[in-house]
Chain A
């Protein structure tokens, strides 16, 4: 596609509910990142894929967070048993190679009530 596409744009979840956030990267982009951005903060790294391989998940805050990219294209970030502190904007980014700039999607704003 022309740009990185994320869905849904907004998600309100009740505490304890599971959510799934989708990212459709730019076609042909090998690298894919997930970032979490809390209000007033810069994006914080969550996880990184190169094709279908998850090479770095050091930023995932707990085992309630899980990400996959099974065919090396679309990626899903899943959060189980959501808690209030999970409320944030979740940004997905892709890049064509390791040493190039990344392009971001519009993000998903998750609000846990």
Chain B
């Protein structure tokens, strides 16, 4: 059965810290790995990764995919209180509907 596992489940840091969130996946006919940030209800898109070893960056956030070891990491540098959210990782397959399998998420709290 396809699954996505995220760690840690929760994390509390202080403003200015750097955090690394982990995502491992077992997805049949894997195609892409997506990261979302969820504040309140709507997940907002962060990154989509399809190639191994190529880092994607957006401001203080960056992510990379390792298709050999079946994992991805999301890094956030110089964290701010506005980064407090649940970070969701999802695996997408090439077959069928390309639906996404989500992990449980990492709940990040950044203290001022």
Identify the A interface with B (CB < 8 A): 31, 33, 35, 40-45, 48, 50, 55-56, 89, 91, 98-107, 109
Given contacts A56-B99, A101-B48, is CB(A43)–CB(B34) below 8 Å?
no
Is there an interface contact between A107 and B41, defined as CB atoms closer than 8 Å?
yes
Q: List 29 A-B contacts (CB under 8 A).
A: A33-B99, A35-B102, A40-B104, A41-B104, A42-B6, A42-B88, A42-B90, A42-B102, A42-B103, A42-B104, A42-B105, A43-B43, A43-B88, A43-B102, A44-B102, A48-B99, A55-B97, A56-B96, A91-B42, A99-B32, A101-B48, A102-B34, A102-B45, A104-B43, A106-B40, A106-B42, A107-B41, A107-B42, A109-B41
Identify the B interface with A (CB < 8 A): 4, 6, 31-32, 34, 36, 40-45, 48, 88, 90, 96-105
Q: How far is the CA of A48 from the CA of B100 in the complex (A)?
A: 11
Contact pick for B41, options A56, A91, A99, CB 8 Å? A91
Q: How far is the CA of A81 from the CA of B105 in the complex (A)?
A: 30
Is there an interface contact between B48 and A56, defined as CB atoms closer than 8 Å?
no
Set of chain B residues within 8 Å of A48, measured between Cβ atoms = 97, 99
Q: How far is the CA of A91 from the CA of B100 in the complex (A)?
A: 13
State the Cβ distance, A43 to closest chain B Cβ, in Å: 5
Q: How far is the CA of A103 from the CA of B31 in the complex (A)?
A: 18
Q: How far is the CA of A42 from the CA of B36 in the complex (A)?
A: 11
